[in-house]
């Protein structure tokens, strides 16, 4: 049996405008919880946190974290 290679998933470099927008989303108390959680995942990944650790902190699955990071990397 061949063991698969686990891909290291990390967010791409975030430009200053994106960083400020993500911080505003995380800091505000109103708005979509889903958007808040996604922004939180991206910021944690930008700090070199692994998807496993992000999943533990955000109470979700590693697959969900990877999906959010992939989507951000593709679409911002």
**pLDDT on residue 30:** 80
Q: Residue 6 domain-assigned?
A: no
- Total domain count, the chain: 1
Q: Residue 70 domain-assigned?
A: yes
Query: What is the 3-class SS of the chain, one letter each residue?
Result: CCCCCCCCCCCCCCCHHHHHHHHHHHHCCCCCHHHHHHHHHHHHHHCCCCHHHHHHHHCCCHHHHHHHHHHHHHHC
**pLDDT on residue 6:** 58
Q: Residue 10 domain-assigned?
A: no
Q: What is the pLDDT of residues 14-63, one digit of tens each?
A: 999 999 999 999 998 788 899 999 999 999 999 999 999 999 999 999 99
Range of the domain at 61: 16-75
Confidence band (pLDDT; 50, 70, 90) for 5? Answer: low
Q: What is the pTM of this model?
A: 0.85
Confidence band (pLDDT; 50, 70, 90) for 70? Answer: very high
């Amino acid at each position: 049996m061949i063991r698969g290679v686990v891909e290291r998933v990390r967010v791409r470099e975030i430009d200053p405008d994106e960083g400020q927008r993500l911080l505003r989303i995380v800091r505000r108390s109103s708005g979509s919880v889903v958007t808040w959680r996604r922004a939180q995942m991206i910021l944690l990944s930008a700090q070199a946190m692994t998807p496993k650790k992000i999943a533990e902190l955000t109470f979700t699955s590693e697959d969900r974290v990877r999906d959010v990071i992939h989507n951000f990397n593709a679409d911002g």
